[in-house]
C-alpha cells in the first residue's frame, strides 16, 4: 500500500517536472515568434474604410463616434450542426428559413473547417485563432468536474475587441472551463458579461426537454445540475431547458439595444446550446417540425437567429455589423434521428473525416461581404485575424495559426489566404500529429480512427469505434472537388503524386513547428463542479441546487 502510494507520488512528481519543462519551452517558443507574425491593419484597409465612411450619409456618419467606424461583430456558433442539416444545405426535411435567408445574403463558404471534431477544442481555436494543441484544450471536451480551462495567457477575440473599445457579451454555451472559483469563465477571457451554461447540457441531469416529452437519450446523472451563470454567478441550478433560449435571446436583445442607444461598438458571441443532444425546445416549437425533436430544436434555433437579426434591423445596426455563422463540429450521429446529418460527407462528430470537421459557415456584412459563395479553403482559425483586420483590432504579439482573410471576404482577391489545413483528431498526440491534411481540394489521411460519436451502428464501418487507430502509408487521398464523401482513394493516381509529396512535407514541417501545451481536459475533481450552494455540501451533487426562493 505504502509502496504503491510512493510510486504514485513519484510518478506525479516526474510528471510535474516534465510539465514545467514543457511549459518553459512553450513560453520560450512563443516569445521567439513574437512580432514575426504580427498582423496590422494595412494602409489599404484604412483607405477602404475611410472611403466607405465618406460615401455614407452625413447625418449617419455624424451619429458615430470615431470608434464605431469599425463594424460590430455577431458570431453565431451552433452546436453539433452537420454539413447537411440546414434547408440551404439540402436536408430533405429540415426547415430553417431565417438561417437560409441569412445565408442567401452572405458569402457562403462551402469548404470550411473547424479544428476539432468535438466542442471544447473547436471553440478554443475559434476564439484564439490557434490550434487547440497550443492551448491544451484536448483530448475531447471539458467535463463538468474539470477544474481547468482555456489558459489565461491565451488571447480571445473578445479580448482584442475589448481593447479596441468594444462591448463584449457571450450568451450560451462557453465550454472553455469554469475553474474552482470561476477563474476560467468568460469574464476572464475578455467578456464584459455572460449568460449561459458553461458546458454541454448533457453533462448534467436533464429532466424536461419539451413540454410534453421527456428528454430523449441519457444525460449525466453523476454531476451537479446544469448551472445557469449570469457573468460569474450561478442564478439557476438546475437550469430550465425550455425557458433557456428565451432568456438568452432576451439578454442579447437588451445588449444590442443598449449598444445602439449608447452608440457603442459591440461583439456579441452566441454559442447556442442547440442542436446538441438532448434536443429541447419551448412549447412554441415543440412538435412543430416534420423532422421530429431535432427539427423542433432547429426551429427554435432558427427563430433565435431571426430575432437577433430583426433586432439588428430595428436598431439600424445591420449595415454596420459583421454576422458570422458556423457550427463547432459535425453531427452526433450516435443520436440517430435525435442528432444531425452530415449530408453527403463521410462520418460525423468525433472523426477527422469530412463529416466531423467540415461545417456550414457564412459571413454577412451588407454592402461589403456577400451575397456570394466560394469553394476556397478556409477555417475557423481565420475568424480571429479576419475580424481583427475588419475592426482594426491589434493582434501584434500573438502567434496565430489563422490567416487574415478580410481581403478575400471583401472580394479584393479571389484566392483564400489558406492553402493547407491540418485536421487534428478528437484525441491528438504529438506522435501522430494531425491525422489529415487538406491542400486546396485534396485531403490526405495519414491516420484514421473511428469514434462512438459517429455511431457504432453506422453503415460505414470506418466511422465506428471498432475502427482503431490505423496508419496509412501512403496516405488515403481524396479529391474532395469530385468526391466530397471521401469514397474513392486516389493515392495511386500519378497525377496527384507531387501534391501528395508536398502535403506530406507540409505536415512534417507543421509538426516540427507546432508547440504542444500539455492537456488540460483530463483532470477531474468533483469539488470544482459549479455549485450554487457550497462545494463541500452533502448530499453531493443534489445539494448544489440553488435553494428554492
Partner 1 sequence: MLRKSYFWLLFLASSLLSEEAYGGNPPNFVVMLMDDLGWGDLGCFGEPGRETPQLDRMAREGVLVPAMYASAPLCSPSRAALLTGRLPVRNGFYSDNDLGRNAYTPQDIVGGIADEETLLSELLQQAGYVSAVVGKWHLGHQEKFLPLQHGFDSYFGSPNCHFGPYDDVTTPNIAVFRDNKMVGRYYEKEFDFPGHVSNYTRLLTEEATSFIRARAADAKPFFLFWTPDSTHAPTYADVQYVGKSGRGRYGSAVQDLDAGVGAILDELDRNGLSNNTLVVFSSDNGAALVSKTQGGSNGPLLCGKQTTFEGGMRVPGIFWWPGTIPAGTTTDQVWTHMDFLPTFLELAGVALPQNLTLDGLPLSNTLLHPELHISRSVFLYRGNLLMAVRDGPYKLHLWTWATPPHLLEIDDDFCPGQRQPNVTTYNQVNHTDNPILYDVVADPAERYQISNTSSVYKTVVPQLLALVEQHVNNLQLAEPQLNWCDDAVMHWAPPGCEELGRCLTPPPSAPHLCYWDH
What residues are labeled active site? 119, 175
| Binding-residue pattern over the window 351 to 390 for partner 1, x denoting contact by CB under 8 A | ----------------------x-x---------------
* Site track for partner 1 across 223-262, x = CB under 8 A: ----------------------------------------
Nearest residue to 170 (alpha-carbon basis) of 199, 196, 149:
196
* Contact between 337 and partner 1 per CB under 8 A: yes
Residue 116 or 464 having the CB closest to partner 1? 464
Q: Which stretch binds partner 1 (CB under 8 A): 4-12, 72-80, 106-114, 168-176?
A: 106-114
Contacts of 101 (CB under 8 A, 6+ apart): none
The verdict on 460 binding partner 1 (CB under 8 A) reads: yes
- Should residue 296 be labelled a site residue for partner 1 when binding is judged by CB under 8 A? no
Is residue 488 close enough to count as binding partner 1 by CB under 8 A?
A: yes
If one asks whether residue 546 binds partner 1 (CB under 8 A), the answer comes out as no
In the structure grid, which three cell numbers stand for residue 243, read together? 425557458
3-class state of residue 167 by DSSP: strand
Q: Specify the 3-state DSSP secondary structure of 101.
A: helix
- 10 Å Cβ neighbour count for 413? 13
Number of residues that bind partner 1 (CB under 8 A): 42
The DSSP secondary-structure symbol of 352 reads S
On whether the CB atoms of residues 144 and 220 are closer than 8 A, the answer is yes
CA 340 to chain centre: 16
**479 scored as a contact of partner 1 (CB under 8 A):** yes
The Cα 401–Cα 484 span in angstroms is: 25
- Asked if residue 99 binds partner 1 (CB under 8 A), the reply is no
Contacts of 23 (CB under 8 A, 6+ apart): 517, 518
Nearer to partner 1, 80 or 460 (CB): 460
Q: How many other C-beta atoms are found inside a 10 Å radius of the C-beta of residue 404? A: 24
Residue 349 contacts partner 1 per CB under 8 A? no
Q: 84 vs 117, which CB is nearer to partner 1? A: 84
425 contributes a contact to partner 1 by CB under 8 A: no
Binding partner 1 (rule: CB under 8 A), the pick from 9, 10, 90, 222 is 90
Q: List the one residue from 25, 93, 243, 413 that touches partner 1 (CB under 8 A).
A: 93
Scanning 30-38, 40-48, 87-95, 228-236 for contacts with partner 1 by CB under 8 A, the matching segment is 87-95
Under rule CB under 8 A, residue 470 binds partner 1? no
CA separation for the pair 294, 124 (Å, rounded): 26
One of 55, 482, 512, 548 touching partner 1 (CB under 8 A): 482
Cα–Cα dist 265/67, whole Å: 7
279 is an interface residue for partner 1 by CB under 8 A: no
Q: Candidates 107-115, 117-125, 206-214, 513-521 — which segment interacts with partner 1 by CB under 8 A?
A: 107-115
Pick the binder of partner 1 from 129, 265, 343, 417 (CB under 8 A).
Answer: 343
What ranges make up the beta strands (E) of 260-360? 266-271, 321-327
Cell numbers standing for residue 120: 471544447
**Which residue has 446550446 as its cell numbers?**
273
Half-sphere exposure of 445 (CA within 13 A, CB side): 24
* Greatest CA separation for the chain: 80
Least CB distance from residue 293 to partner 1, whole Å? 9
Helix axes 383-391, 119-128, angle to 10 degrees: 30
Q: Is 213 in the site for partner 1 (CB under 8 A)?
A: no
φ, ψ (nearest 5 deg) of residue 378:
-145, 165
Residue 327 as a binder of partner 1 (CB under 8 A): the answer is: no
CA 98 to chain centre: 21
47's CB contacts (< 8 A; 6+ apart) are: none
Q: Is 190 in the site for partner 1 (CB under 8 A)?
A: no
Minimum CB separation of residue 161 from partner 1 in Å reads 31
| Residue 89 vs 135, nearer CB to partner 1 | 89
CA distances for 192 relative to 159, 260, 375, angstroms: 10, 16, 36
Q: How far is the CB of 285 from partner 1 (least distance, A)?
A: 16
**Residue for cell digits 481565420?**
382
Instruction: Give CA–CA dist 326/361, Å, rounded.
Output: 4
Contact with partner 1 (CB under 8 A) among 64, 441, 472, 526: 441
When binding is defined by CB under 8 A, the residue of 69, 88, 119, 476 that contacts partner 1 is: 88
Q: Does residue 84 interact with partner 1 by CB under 8 A?
A: yes
The Cα 400–Cα 31 span in angstroms is 13
From residue 385 to residue 424, the character string flagging contacts with partner 1 as x (rule: CB under 8 A) and all else as - is ----------------------------------------
Q: Report the interface residues with partner 1, using CB under 8 A.
A: 83-84, 87-93, 95, 108, 110-111, 290-292, 294-295, 336-337, 341-344, 346, 373, 375, 441, 457-461, 479, 481-485, 487-488, 490
Amino acid at each position: 500500500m505504502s509502496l504503491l502510494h510512493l510510486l504514485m507520488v513519484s510518478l506525479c512528481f516526474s510528471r510535474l517536472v516534465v510539465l514545467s519543462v514543457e511549459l518553459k519551452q512553450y513560453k520560450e517558443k512563443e516569445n521567439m515568434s513574437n512580432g514575426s507574425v504580427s498582423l496590422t491593419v494595412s494602409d489599404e484597409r484604412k483607405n477602404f474604410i475611410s472611403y466607405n465612411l465618406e460615401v455614407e450619409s452625413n447625418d449617419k456618419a455624424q451619429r458615430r463616434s470615431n470608434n464605431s467606424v469599425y463594424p460590430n461583430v455577431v458570431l453565431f456558433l451552433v452546436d453539433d450542426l452537420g454539413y447537411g442539416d440546414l434547408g440551404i444545405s439540402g436536408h430533405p426535411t429540415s426547415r430553417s428559413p431565417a438561417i437560409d435567408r441569412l445565408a442567401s445574403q452572405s458569402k457562403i463558404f462551402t469548404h470550411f473547417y473547424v479544428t476539432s471534431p468535438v466542442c471544447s477544442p473547436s471553440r478554443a481555436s475559434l476564439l484564439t485563432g490557434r490550434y487547440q494543441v497550443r492551448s491544451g484544450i484536448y483530448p475531447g471536451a471539458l467535463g463538468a468536474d474539470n477544474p481547468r480551462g482555456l489558459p489565461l495567457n491565451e488571447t480571445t477575440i473578445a479580448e482584442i475587441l475589448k481593447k479596441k473599445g468594444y462591448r463584449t457579451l457571450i450568451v450560451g454555451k462557453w465550454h472553455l472551463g469554469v475553474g474552482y472559483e470561476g477563474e476560467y469563465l468568460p469574464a476572464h477571457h475578455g467578456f464584459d458579461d455572460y449568460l449561459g451554461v458553461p458546458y454541454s447540457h448533457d453533462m448534467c441531469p436533464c429532466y424536461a426537454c419539451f413540454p410534453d416529452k421527456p428528454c430523449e437519450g441519457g444525460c449525466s446523472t453523476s454531476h451537479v445540475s446544469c448551472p445557469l451563470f449570469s457573468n460569474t454567478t450561478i442564478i439557476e441550478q438546475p437550469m430550465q431547458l425550455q425557458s433557456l433560449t428565451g432568456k438568452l435571446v432576451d439578454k442579447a436583445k437588451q445588449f444590442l439595444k443598449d449598444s445602439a442607444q449608447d452608440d457603442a461598438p459591440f461583439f456579441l458571441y452566441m454559442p447556442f446550446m442547440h442542436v446538441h443532444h438532448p434536443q429541447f425546445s419551448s412549447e412554441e416549437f415543440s412538435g412543430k417540425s416534420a423532422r421530429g425533436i431535432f427539427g423542433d430544436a432547429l426551429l427554435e434555433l432558427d427563430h433565435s437567429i431571426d430575432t437577433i437579426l430583426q433586432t439588428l434591423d430595428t436598431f439600424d445596426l445591420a449595415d454596420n455589423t459583421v454576422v458570422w455563422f458556423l457550427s463547432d463540429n459535425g453531427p452526433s450521429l450516435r443520436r440517430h434521428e435525435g442528432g444531425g446529418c452530415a449530408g453527403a460527407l463521410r462520418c460525423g462528430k468525433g472523426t477527422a473525416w469530412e463529416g466531423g470537421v467540415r461545417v456550414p459557415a457564412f459571413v454577412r456584412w451588407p454592402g461589403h461581404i456577400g451575397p456570394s459563395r466560394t469553394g476556397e479553403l478556409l477555417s475557423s482559425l481565420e475568424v480571429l485575424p479576419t475580424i481583427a483586420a475588419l475592426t482594426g483590432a491589434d493582434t501584434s504579439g500573438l502567434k496565430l495559426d489563422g490567416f487574415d482573410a478580410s481581403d478575400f471576404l471583401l472580394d479584393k482577391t479571389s484566392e483564400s489566404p489558406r492553402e493547407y489545413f491540418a485536421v487534428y483528431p478528437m484525441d491528438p498526440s504529438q506522435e501522430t500529429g494531425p491525422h489529415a491534411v487538406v491542400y486546396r481540394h485534396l485531403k490526405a489521411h495519414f491516420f484514421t480512427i473511428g469514434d462512438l460519436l459517429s455511431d457504432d451502428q453506422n453503415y460505414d464501418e470506418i466511422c465506428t469505434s471498432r475502427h482503431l487507430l490505423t496508419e496509412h502509408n501512403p496516405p488515403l487521398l481524396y479529391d474532395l472537388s469530385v468526391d466530397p464523401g471521401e469514397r474513392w482513394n486516389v493515392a495511386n493516381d500519378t497525377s496527384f503524386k507531387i501534391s501528395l509529396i508536398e502535403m506530406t512535407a507540409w505536415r512534417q514541417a507543421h509538426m516540427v513547428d507546432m508547440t504542444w501545451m500539455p492537456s488540460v481536459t483530463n483532470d477531474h475533481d468533483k469539488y470544482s463542479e459549479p455549485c450554487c450552494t457550497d462545494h463541500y455540501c452533502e448530499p453531493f451533487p443534489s445539494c448544489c441546487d440553488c435553494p428554492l426562493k
